[in-house]
Copies of this chain bind each other. A is one copy, B any other.
């Protein structure tokens, strides 16, 4: 179960265990947390929603892409859904590699890809309103109705 959508808090030690390997000298964990202030607007809480079956597939695809680009890598990604408060953990990406530079590079690749192709949405709740947030990369227009070939 290296690629998961969950309603529960994510345990860092478990994420670490999923990628531990006798061959690994480095593990990077990226943890996305709920920040209070974005562009001077104060978030009260967030709701995350996922198309779970497809999201799990797309997370696994990102894992496959990483193993092609960085051989001997192990990857685990868990994204939480439901109501998240300030400082709660939304996503954890764990990557182990024999050498440390790859662990940083591969991890960063994973978070960028999540923001492109994984069907998960975030609704921000502020004191004075609420809104489903469009994609954070601000590449919201898909003239062909789907991401470009290179994004799949």
- Chain A contacts to B: CB under 8 angstroms: 11-13, 15-16, 20-38, 86-87, 89, 96, 98, 100, 103-104, 107-108, 111
Contacts and interface: CB of A to CB of B under 8 A. Distances in A.
A108 to B, nearest CB: 6
A13 B100 CA distance: 21
A108 B98 contact: no
A77 to B, nearest CB: 15
A-side interface mostly: mixed
B28 A29 contact: yes
Nearest to A105: B104
A89 to B, nearest CB: 8
Contacts of A34: 25
Contacts of A89: 16
Q: Which of A23, A29, A98, A108 has the most CB of B within 10 A?
A: A29
